Amino acid sequence: MLEIEDLHVSVQDKNILKGLSLTVPAGEVHAIMGPNGAGKSTTSYTLAGREGYEVTSGAIRFKGEDFVDLPPEERAAKGMFLAFQSPIEIPGVTSMNFLKTAVNAQARSRGEKEPTAVEFLKMLREAAKKLNVTEDMLRRPLNVGFSGGEKKRNEVLQMTLLKPSLAVLDETDSGLDIDALRLVAEGVNALRCPERSFLVITHYQRLLDYIEPDVVHILAGGRIVKSGDKTLARQLEDQGYDAVIGQAA
Ligand code: ADP
Ligand code: MG
Ligand code: MG
């Protein structure tokens, strides 16, 4: 599903990712953990194709296709979903219209028919109800004035409607309360299936109490220094990054 090969990324001429390699097969949930400043958010922004994140060498392949030169919208349309620590606010666009545009773009890209307005509304209302996203929230400008929990619920709603092939969730450093964590985890768990992959980026292992990863990677100094099964997350929590990374070095 996702192959990152010897990726080097600079931000404002500063090398941040220094040879990051990572493969996430279809159907698997991989977690990236790492100390502050390791390059976790840089990895998610690079996957998103955000401006200013310059790939100086290496490759990103998604479903076998080279991704580095694709604009962000095309990445999304091809089935990559990214959720950031701080979701963007879009003052002029209601959540509902944002979702409709995203769903349509994805349908076009997959060569499927766009849902009709009625079909879309039905799909939206069903998903929104499960996530406790109110009609009022759907009619408000995207994320503007939303509380942290509302933003998260809205994000999981987006993920649920878009049914991405790969969802990248950067939960780093964010002060998510336990309810928001559970919500994200339930959203992920409900969508787990053999055709879909997740990359869960997190500083603490707390989120992984709810989302059981197949593989845990430790990112430090701009590259993956160690990978293991879910017990690696527990080991990090117990022993700290220095001890575990020290063993890897
Ligand atoms: P993490 O998410 O793992 O905490 P980041 O990817 O946010 O780490 O940051 C990795 C490193 O890149 C840090 O040393 C940070 O200071 C640096 N960095 C991040 N963004 C920028 C930027 N826009 N300009 C310069 N340095 C940056
Ligand atoms: Mg950070
Ligand atoms: Mg971060």
Domain extent at residue 175: 2-248
Q: Whose CA is nearest to atom 23 of ligand 1?
A: 11
The verdict on ipTM greater than 0.90 is yes
Which among 72, 128, 129 has a CA at the least distance from the CA of 96? 128
Which among 86, 85, 59 has a CA at the least distance from the CA of 70? 59
* pTM score of the predicted model: 0.90
- Residue 125 sits at φ, ψ, to 5 deg, of -65, -40
Element containing residue 201 per DSSP (H, E): strand 197-202
Which tens digits make up the pLDDT trace of 66-103? 999 999 888 888 899 988 656 666 778 888 988 898 89
Unique residue bearing structure tokens 């790492």: 34
Which among 180, 94, 102 has a CA at the least distance from the CA of 143? 94
Ligand 1 atom nearest to 45, measured from its CA = 6
Q: Whose CA is nearest to atom 7 of ligand 1?
A: 41
Residue 78 near residue 62 (C-beta atoms within 8 A): yes
With a Cβ cut-off of 6 Å, ligand 1 is lined by: 11-12, 14, 16, 34, 36-42, 172
Instruction: Report the amino acid identity of residue 175.
Output: G
| pLDDT of amino acid 47 | 95
* Distance from Cα 233 to the centre of ligand 2, integer Å: 18
pLDDT band for 12, please (50, 70, 90 cuts). very high
What is the CATH number for 59?
3.40.50.300
Q: What is the total count of domains within the chain?
A: 1
pLDDT band for 51, please (50, 70, 90 cuts). very high
| Cα 24 to Cα 44: distance, rounded to the nearest angstrom | 14
